[in-house]
Amino acid sequence: MNSIENIIAETSRESIASGIIRIQYLPYNIEYALRVVMRIAEGLVPGFTMTPEVAQMYKELIRYFHGDPTFCGDLRKGLILMGNTGSGKTLAMRVMQVYRQIDNIHYIKNNKPYRMQYEILHVDDAVRRFITEGYGGVEEYERRYILCLDDIGAESERVKHFGNDIDIIGHIVSERCKPGLLTFATTNFPEETLAEAYNDRTVSRMHEMFNFLTLKERDFRRGNSM
């Protein structure tokens, strides 16, 4: 594979709205990669079981992190994993935190390379920071070049700030969308419920930022846009 510097030089003239260019980590053997992912998951959660549905989920995540053009969505966007409680969404993002280190996976934004290294932040922790510290407490989450918001939609109702109702997660999402920062997320809710929980502007931002991937009972597929 070409060096990151060469890739930047080759792609610097491309015009991409988000400023994000994905590096392709190819070729790779997806079945071997799946076995690696399973070993990582077993290390994190003893007794982990790779069902056919879970295997399909991880194959899409592997394609995404490798910058594989056969991925079912837009590689320049982030991911939001959707599914019922206990379906393994947060674990999947923890597994990929480790997996990305194998090839030291990078992406390019505005002609600069960034490691695809991210913190998983539960939305309740962000809300607590806002309650105690105000906007200054969540400013770092608005600016990090990559972040995973865990359990979107599970946070309490809007919080009060100087007498005003504030949707702090919607605020963070919108602030990250403006500069096109790469963002991941998980949620227990379907798209329709998210549309009810957040205002139209926030939902629109989510569709700009995320590939919607839904773990169904029988298959893991890309969710349809609203």
Q: Alpha helices, DSSP H only, in the chain?
A: 4-11, 30-44, 52-65, 89-99, 123-133, 135-143, 168-177, 191-197, 200-209
Determine the Cα–Cα distance for residues 45 and 54; give it in Å rounded to an integer. 14
Please give the model's pTM, rounded to 2 decimal places. 0.86
Whether residue 88 contacts residue 47, with contact meaning beta carbons closer than 8 Å, is answered with: no
Amino acid of residue 62: I
Whether residue 199 contacts residue 168, with contact meaning beta carbons closer than 8 Å, is answered with: no
Give the number of other Cβ atoms within 10 Å of residue 132's Cβ: 8
How would you write the pLDDT of the chain (226 residues) with one tens digit per residue? 455 556 545 444 333 446 899 999 999 999 999 999 999 999 999 999 888 888 999 999 999 999 999 999 999 999 999 988 888 899 999 999 999 999 999 999 999 999 999 999 999 999 999 988 989 999 999 999 999 999 998 865 555 554 457 788 999 999 999 999 999 999 998 888 888 888 888 889 999 999 999 876 444 444 443 3
